[in-house]
Structure formats: structure tokens, C-alpha cells
A and B are shown apart, each in its own frame.
Chain A
Amino acid sequence: MKNMALAKQTRFDVHAVRRDFPVLARILNGKPLAYLDNGASAQRPEFVIEAVNDYERHHHANIHRGVHTLSQEATARYETARDSLVHFLNARSRREIIFVRGTTEAINLVAQSYARPLLGSGDEILITHLEHHANIVPWQLVCEQTGAKLTVVPMDERGEVPFEAALALMNERTRVFAFTHVSNALGTVLPVKRLVAAAKARGIVTLIDGAQAVPHLPVDVQDLGCDFYAFSGHKLFGPTGIGVLYGRESLLERMPPWQGGGDMILAVTFAKTTYNSLPYKFEAGTPNISGAIGLGAAVDYLRGIDLGGAHAHEHALLAYASESLGAIEDLRIVGTAVDKASLVSFVVKGVHPHDLGTILDEEAIAIRTGHHCAMPVMDFFKLPATARASFAFYNTFEEIDRLCAAVQRARSMFA
């Protein structure tokens, strides 16, 4: 190994934080679980599990409609969760925080409710080559519906999206620029603030897919200046089936509802319906109440830990993993951007990622193998799949050592 000086320790108390996550104590095949698949879904701390449990056991009722005690308690908890999210993203108000099922639904909402009524033939939607399918397909659908054109900012060999390339593709017909904050397949962190500023200067509305960013970076939507920001709860140590769409209030006000039903109305007659105010206009039907409460608890939990220390720890893990994996013969790291979040995508000559995944599983090491729902990225590198180790602040240097040892074992098996 070239650089043995890399620290295997940070000031962050990883062992204390690990005790907050019950699943991390699991033993599989006689070995402690090394959960390195956080990019797919992160684990939940006791604090989240308990918040959901307490709600389910003691406070459940439908929200916004009962005068009875339980309904008021459920409503209070649901809306308190929204306040936690306002704080987490530094939104201007609770009217800008819409609970959705996840990032996918958030992007579909913007595509259908913001973009669709606005788009016509000749208009353009701009995305990047790095996008997850969830930030490609909703735009393809809306382009089919309206005759608009989907334009893609190219990426380079490092897995970066050059700022100038994005700039060159923004024109007077570009209506929306939708791009990821952090690439799920490669870990690239995009220069989001500069991209937003450039788009804004040309009157282009921006949407940021923050699914992979929120667990790793502080996100301040006012500082970013974006119009929409979307993420999923389960990648942020919260439950599945819940996520958030942040939207600039002035835009949300102008947008028609996406789905019709209960909760999103003020008054209904057969002749006319008056829509509810924000954010309820976009929350038709009984929502995922316990999910929202769980997500609120997740961001409250994060507020209670040393988040700066956690992010620094993740960076040290990334540096250590890049160094140790990179030193393995015949292993190639895919995605070598200068600014990366805490994940490493790689391929090993002679060992298919799928076989590697099985061999690692035998060692109780969980990673993701496959195309990561980013087939255009795989096509760019002419790879059918990669192996991806993605870290959270509760991961350790020892887990990365075990990962490297298991990769070596796989190499010798297939040699």
C-alpha cells in the first residue's frame, strides 16, 4: 500500500453511534454484519424505530380530520415532523415541504405538475449523463406527452459533469434543468450551487435529486437557490415509503394539484372544487403518517449527533477505501471525480460483480452489485455492472479491511 499514513481513526466516536443502530449488532454466518450498502438504503437508529413504534402503539388515527384526541395527537406529530424537515433543509416555511413517497414520486410530481402544463414542442428539459433512472424516465414521459426534447449534459472519464458542458447546453428553450447532487453510481458530487446560479441567470427552473446527498452533506435550499429539491427518507436513516419534495413557494402556488382526493381540498361540489393551501394541495389522500413521523425522528436524531464529525469520518472512510481497494491488483475504481461522496464503485478483472456480491455476502459484507439504476452511466464505461460499497458514518475502517480481504479471496477463487 502506497500511503500507510492514512489515518484509521477519526475523532468521531463511531462505536458509540453504532450502538444506536440495533441491526449493526447482527451476526451472519458467524461474522458481524458489515453493512456497506447505505447508498441503496441506510439503517434506522433506535430513535426512529421508537418514534414509529410509539406512534403506532399510542397515537394512531387519521390526521387533519378528527376532533378526537388521537386524531389531534397524530396530526400534531405529523406536522411536527414537517417542522423538523423545514429546519433540516432550511426551507423558508412549512408550505414548501411536501411529503411524498420518495425521490421518484417527487420528481414525477414536478414533471407532471410543474413542467407538463408549461412545455410545448421545441422546449427542452436538461438532465445530465449521471442521473439515476428516476431522474430520466419522468422527463422522458413528459417529453412524450408534450413534444419537448430531452437534452443530456455529457460526463467525462472521471465521472464528472463539466460545468462548461452544462452551460453550453442551456438555451432560451430550456425550461427545466434537473440534476443529481451526488451520483448514486459513482459518488461524484456535482457543483450544484454554480449550476443553479447559471440556470437561474438564464431563467431556467432547477430540480436537484438529493437522494444520495442528504446523508452525506449539509443541504441548505436557500443557500443553494434551487427551485426544487427531492430526497427519500430511507436513505437518511428513516423509513421507506416517505420522502420530501422541497419546492419554492411561488412556484408551488402556481402549480395545479398532481393528484385529487381527500385532504387536498377545501370544498367540493360537483361543479367546482376549491383546493387546499400549501403544502396540503399536493398531499391528496391519507398520507404515510408513521413514515413522516419516522423521517422527522431521523432528522431530529441527526441534529443530536456530531454531524460535522460524522461527515469528516465518512470522508476518512472514503479516502481509506479508495486507497486500500485501489491497491488491489486488477481492481479498477470506476468514478474518480475530485469531489466524491462516501461510496466506491469498482470492478475486478476476472470476477463478475454478481459473483463478488455472493462471495462478500458469505463474509457478512453487504454491498450492491448491478447497474445501480443508472444504465447510461454503465454504458459510458462499457460495463454491464459494478460492485459498489457505500458508507455511512457508522461504518468502520475494520469493515473496509474486511471488504478488501474478501475481494482478495474472490480474486484467488477465480484466478
Chain B
Amino acid sequence: MELNDLYRDVILDHNRRPRNFGPLEPADASVEGFNPLCGDRLTVRLKMQGDAIADIRFEGQGCAISTASASLMTEAVKGKTRGEALKLFERVHHLLTDDAASSDELGKLAALSGVREFPARVKCASLCWHTLVSALESPPAAVLPAVSTE
């Protein structure tokens, strides 16, 4: 286990300057994710155009892994269709938990592959993705109860 593998430059950069951070009004869906283990809490908001994610922003507080993962996620799914975003979630989930998973074509998201060496931190990286899935599956303009990783 190497710390530099977990805290790669991309992660540190997105933690320092999270992209798409802040409120999004009006949003078509807004879901809060909560990790009671460490107190990480973030809200993901979506604006949809037909089946596509026209805009996505997040806010909240969390560790570097959770903040960077959310920031990278918003960059990766903006403009994607619901189906494409859900497929990407599957790939990232695989990347975080399976040593054999490939990071080909994942772009900057590949920086998250170091997390799987630190099992205690997988939930930090996946919190935003679970929150996104819940937002994508929510009926239009819904504000759902918080998603929890416990």
C-alpha cells in the first residue's frame, strides 16, 4: 500500500479545487448522501434535458477522497444520458472493489483505482456515486430522503 497511490495528484487537485461545487437552482433532482461512519455529507443536484444530464453540481463536506471523487464524477457524467451514467457507475464501482478491474477509457476517473488498496476508504469514494444513482432514479423534481452508505 502506497499513500501516493491513494492521494494521486489528480485527487489532491480535485480536493483542493472541487469542480462543479455549489448550489444548482432550479434542479430537477436533489439527493443528500451521508456516510455515518465518518460524517461525510454531500448533496448532488441534477438538471436534465430529456434523458441527458444537462448540468450537475454538488456541495457538502467530506474527506479528500469523497470530495475528489464527487468532483471527478460531475465532470465525467455531465452531458451523458441516464443509461451512460449508470453504466459508468458500474465501471467505477468495479474499479473501487475489484483488483482485476481495468481502468481503460475511464480517463481521470482512473485516479480512483488506488482506493481499492484501502478498503476502509471505498465508501468515501462511492458515496457520491450512490447519491447520483438515487438522483437519476428519482422522479422529476423530487427531493428524496438521504442516501446512506451504511
Q: A333-358 vs B: 1/0 string, CB under 8 Å?
A: 00000000000000000001111001
A38 at the B interface (CB under 8 A): no
CA distance A384 to B61 in the complex (A): 8
**How many residues in A have their beta carbons less than 8 Å from beta carbons of B?**
16
Q: Which residues of A contact B39 (CB under 8 A)?
A: 370-371, 378, 384-385
Binding site for A on B (CB under 8 A): 1, 3, 6-7, 12, 15-16, 37-41, 61-65, 118, 120-121, 124
Q: Which residues of B contact A385 (CB under 8 A)?
A: 38-39
Also in contact, A414 and B120, with CB within 8 A (given A355-B63, A359-B3, A362-B3): no
**CB pair B15 A358 closer than 8 Å:** no
A413 at the B interface (CB under 8 A): yes
Q: Which residues of A contact B61 (CB under 8 A)?
A: 384
A-B Cβ contacts below 8 A, count = 44
Q: Which residues of A contact B121 (CB under 8 A)?
A: 354, 358
Q: 7 more A-B contacts (CB under 8 A) besides A362-B1, A384-B39?
A: A354-B121, A354-B124, A370-B38, A378-B39, A384-B40, A413-B3, A414-B64
Please list 27 pairs of residues, one from A and one from B, whose beta carbons are closer than 8 Å in the complex, sorted by A's number.
A29-B1, A352-B62, A352-B63, A353-B63, A354-B38, A354-B63, A354-B121, A355-B64, A355-B65, A358-B3, A358-B6, A358-B118, A358-B120, A358-B121, A359-B3, A362-B1, A369-B38, A370-B37, A371-B39, A384-B38, A384-B39, A384-B41, A384-B61, A385-B38, A385-B39, A414-B16, A414-B64
Q: A132-165 vs B: 1/0 string, CB under 8 Å?
A: 0000000000000000000000000000000000
Q: Which residues of A contact B62 (CB under 8 A)?
A: 352
Q: Which residues of B contact A378 (CB under 8 A)?
A: 39
Give min CB distance, B34 to chain A, whole Å: 10
CA distance A102 to B40 in the complex (A): 29
**CB pair B12 A413 closer than 8 Å:** yes
Q: Which residues of A contact B120 (CB under 8 A)?
A: 358
In the complex formed, the residue of B with least CB distance to A370 is B38
CA distance A152 to B16 in the complex (A): 39
Q: A303-331 vs B: 1/0 string, CB under 8 Å?
A: 00000000000000000000000000000
Give min CB distance, A138 to chain B, whole Å: 19
Q: Which residues of A contact B1 (CB under 8 A)?
A: 29, 362
In the complex formed, the residue of B with least CB distance to A385 is B39
In the complex formed, the residue of A with least CB distance to B62 is A352
In the complex formed, the residue of B with least CB distance to A386 is B39
Tell me the chain A residues, 354-381 only, with Cβ under 8 Å from chain B: 354-355, 358-359, 362, 369-371, 378
CA distance A362 to B4 in the complex (A): 11
Q: Which residues of A contact B12 (CB under 8 A)?
A: 413-414
Q: Which residues of B contact A370 (CB under 8 A)?
A: 37-39
Give min CB distance, A371 to chain B, whole Å: 5
Give the residue among B7, B16, B64, B124 with the most A Cβ atoms within 10 A. B64
**7 shortest interchain CB distances as A-B pairs:** A384-B39, A352-B63, A354-B63, A385-B39, A354-B38, A355-B64, A355-B63
Q: Which residues of A contact B118 (CB under 8 A)?
A: 358
CA distance A18 to B63 in the complex (A): 34
Q: Which residues of A contact B16 (CB under 8 A)?
A: 414
